[in-house]
Amino acid sequence: QVQLVESGGGSVQAGGSLRLSCGYSGVTFSSWCMGWFRRAPGKEREGVSAIDSDGRTSYALSVKGRFTISKDNADNTLYLQMNSLQPEDTGMYFCAANHDLTSMATMLRKPQLWLNWGQGTQVTVS
């Protein structure tokens, strides 16, 4: 059973930084990907960034150059380093894991493809 637990959210002023963490267990499938999604108030969940088992990454255009996804296999932790945060980055951030079904870019565009989700961590930028 896959378990995902996010942490690291908080409130920050525009231009600031946060690092989100997602501790995971049960991710044992041979070809897998993990990602970060967010849901802003009144909006649908959208993909932020994803990484596959080979380390290939994909980013939403809105965060490219500001956010960095990484993973530590030894500690079973997925990270999202967020720099130059803007008010439009405000939202609930979710960690997700799934079998690698298609390209990272497509996986990122389609939250419905992901079966395993964490409970989320709130990020507020003012």
In percent, how much of the chain has pLDDT > 70?
Answer: 98
The pLDDT value recorded for residue 118 is 97
CA atoms of 16 and 14, how far apart (whole Å): 5
- Please, which pLDDT band fits residue 23 given cuts at 50, 70 and 90? very high
- pLDDT at 29 > cutoff 70: no
CA atoms of 25 and 106, how far apart (whole Å): 24
Closest of 1, 61, 50, 47 to residue 26, by C-alpha: 1
Over the chain, what is the mean pLDDT? Answer: 94
Under 8 Å between Cβ of 18 and 82: yes
The pLDDT value recorded for residue 20 is 98
Question: What are the distances in angstroms from CA 77 to CA 11, 80, 82?
Answer: 22, 10, 16
- pLDDT at 35 > cutoff 70: yes
pLDDT in tens, 66-112: 999 999 988 999 999 999 999 999 999 999 999 888 888 999 999 99
- Max mean pLDDT among 30-34, 49-53, 86-90, 102-106 falls in 86-90
CA atoms of 35 and 27, how far apart (whole Å): 13
Closest of 70, 37, 32 to residue 52, by C-alpha: 32
Give the pLDDT mean for 48-59.
92
